[in-house]
Amino acid sequence: MSTATQNSESIIWSGEADGWLDLLDQTLLPTELKRIECRDAETVWEAIKMLRVRGAPAIGISAAYGVVIGVQTVGMDSTIADLKARAIEVIDYLATSRPTAVNLFWALDRMRAKVDSWGDDLSLADAAETLLQEARAIHQSDRETCHAIGKHGCDVLDDVQGVLTHCNAGGLATAEYGTALSVFFTAQDQGKSLHVFVDETRPLLQGARLTAWELMQRGIKATLICDSMAAQVMREGKVQAVVTGADRIAANGDSANKIGTYSLAVLAKHHGIPFYIAAPASTFDLAIESGAEIPIELRDAGEITNGFGRQTAPDEVEVYNPAFDVTPAELIEAIITEHGLIQPVTNENVRSMIG
Ligand code: MRU
């Protein structure tokens, strides 16, 4: 099977408030570009749960559209109270799809605030339209946010030729351009030539399947490595910075991201290489003080024992499969946000930039 070569948006809304969500099925990349039509909340929930759409901002955007779809079951002869009740039911349901990326809850809270603002005399059509407008606003603002992150992040790569990234924090994981990858794409736009080392990102291979694909689509030099090769790559002096995305950042700057990110940050510290997180304000959870409070998603054992169609471990072996880990703030050189750099990463600096 060959690599899909056509680029494609991960999230597209089609039509008006009675429309549908069209998602690129990321589980099939890089060999197949297939889209899924989501016409009910269950299909959106399943797409998030199974990582057909993934990456913190993309999950939030999809869930927001999922609310628009979920209320389509309410007949136009119903009352505004019925529509409100259904909207809240859908919001609560979509919130159960994945626990770690706070962008999901951030987007659903914005949708909930819209529902709370409905007056009793609002027509059902107008109420549904407010939900669509809010979902579109979340989608559009993420585009702008990603480009702003890229611009701020570029400066940290001034003296860097080789950089390492983990998982996928690219256009597929956001409205467009990405967070960590936006930094590389923007550097390229500004004429800089970078060599990006890409961790394959066990067990679901978001680095190999998605990041390597996105970088190659844009003509950025990409070298794929197994996660366990990062120390060797650093020791050989091949990278001068590490940049990853994040799924939830606590008030003290502790940052949850794809499993394996924490060990990269430890390795980077040992080798004197700066480790950066690139993430939007919507990834910060200022309601929690430290990373110890971030819920870590545990996923199915089969992702490790039977990944991609082949059994690679004995039957019945005990498996532990946390999907994320938390990098302590003291290992992070700076957090690159759409508002600028948080550096040093302290509670005070996080609150003054984000709060
Ligand atoms: O399990 P995933 O693929 O949703 O994990 C994604 C990541 O860890 C990304 O690095 C993070 O969401 C940032 S995406 C801009």
Strand 334-337, strand 340-342: pairing: antiparallel
| pTM for the model | 0.97
CATH code: domain 149-354 is 3.40.50.10470
Active-site pick, 247, 254, 285, 325 = 247
| Chain position carrying tokens 């924090």 | 169
Residue 4: is its pLDDT beyond 90?
no
What are the residue ranges spanned by the domains of the chain? 3-146, 149-354
Q: Which atom of ligand 1 is nearest to the CA of 206?
A: 3
> Does ligand 1 come within 6 angstroms of the Cβ of 169?
yes
- Find the largest Cα–Cα distance for the chain: 68
Give CA–CA dist 162/182, Å, rounded: 16
State the distance from the centre of ligand 1 to the C-alpha of 201, rounded, in angstroms: 11
- Any atom of ligand 1 within 6 Å of the Cβ of 103: no
Best mutation site among 168, 205, 298 for ligand 1, i.e. most ligand atoms within 8 A of its Cβ? 168
Per residue in 117-164, pLDDT (tens digit) is 999 999 999 999 999 999 999 999 999 999 999 999 999 999 999 999
Q: Quick one: which atom of ligand 1 is closest to the CA of 103?
A: 12
What is the CATH architecture assignment of 3-146?
A: Up-down Bundle (1.20)
Whose alpha carbon is nearest atom 8 of ligand 1?
A: 258
- Alpha-carbon distance 120 to 263, whole Å? 53
What is the distance in A from the centroid of ligand 1 to the CA of 118? 33
Conformational region of residue 292, where left means phi above 0, alpha means psi within -120 to 50, and beta covers everything else: alpha
Which region holds residue 350: left if phi is over 0, alpha if psi is between -120 and 50, else beta?
Answer: alpha
Taking all residues of the chain, what is their mean pLDDT, rounded to a whole number? 97
Question: Does the active-site annotation cover 300?
Answer: no
Alpha-carbon gap, residue 243 to 156, rounded angstroms: 10
Residues whose CB falls within 8 Å of the CB of residue 118, separated by 6 or more in sequence, listed in order: 80, 83, 84, 127, 130
- 286-315 per-position pLDDT tens digit: 999 999 999 999 999 999 999 999 999 999
Q: Do domains 3-146 and 149-354 have the same CATH topology?
A: no
Distance CA 17, CA 264 (A): 44
Q: Which pLDDT tens digit goes with each residue over 9-59?
A: 999 999 999 999 999 999 999 999 999 999 999 999 999 999 999 999 999
